[in-house]
Structure 1
């Protein structure tokens, strides 16, 4: 069997050291990036949920007349959507059940896109951005600076 040569082994020593320093810095910044993503996305959804709660009659009217949520009655969709927008961001900020919270908000995000048939392009792109951040949190978790990851050594450090 032939042994694989690591691509960075072909680099000159100064570039290998620079690459290693960059990787070390990037890995050190991961918890900050994950926290920033959690805070940003959570704020967007939480504020949307609070807006719905402030004027419940309008929320019900929007779910009845404007939003076309598939498979659910407008009243059930309004309650579930609003509950998701208010509760899941709190869990996401704390990083408590962070992957599940991010997955739940991903569902809310996708349903929002599907339920507004004529969404303007800039609004759609915001949903894509939020979905991308949420996908990262689902795949890589909420990070060390979370209830889920607090005090745990990274898997890389344990190897």
Structure 2
């Protein structure tokens, strides 16, 4: 039997996700434009919550949260949720993304992004993302609901041999 690694502390998990968030925004122009101001609000195993105040860069011609920005948020945040699962440094490649646009938010609105890794396996991860508009009274209204499947096999992992 191998030696088991002790579970990460909340501080270690948060520091790992903050460092990954910084690396991803520094290395991706689209993440830099849309998500460099996103603040990490909380991290637990498989769940990452961010807050972002929307600017002109986030809205469409009708001044509502742009669908492409929502997709980038889903992609970015669900990758962080996968990394928070086991502190990996790679978040995988998108296989499928489904997004429902339920409401809207505009410039100056604060959105809370809750990304959850529902299941992280050896090859695939299944995630959800909810983007809420936070009202002045603190009430959260669901704006976007995303489901995201990612291929997450880590380099060097062996796959089971196929039987003929």
TM-score range, shorter chain: under 0.3
- With structure 2 as the length reference, what TM-score do the two structures score? 0.25
Higher helix fraction (1 or 2): 1
| Greater C-alpha Rg | 1
Higher strand fraction (1 or 2): 2
- With structure 1 as the length reference, what TM-score do the two structures score? 0.26
Greater RCO (Cα-Cα under 8 Å, separation 6 or more): 1
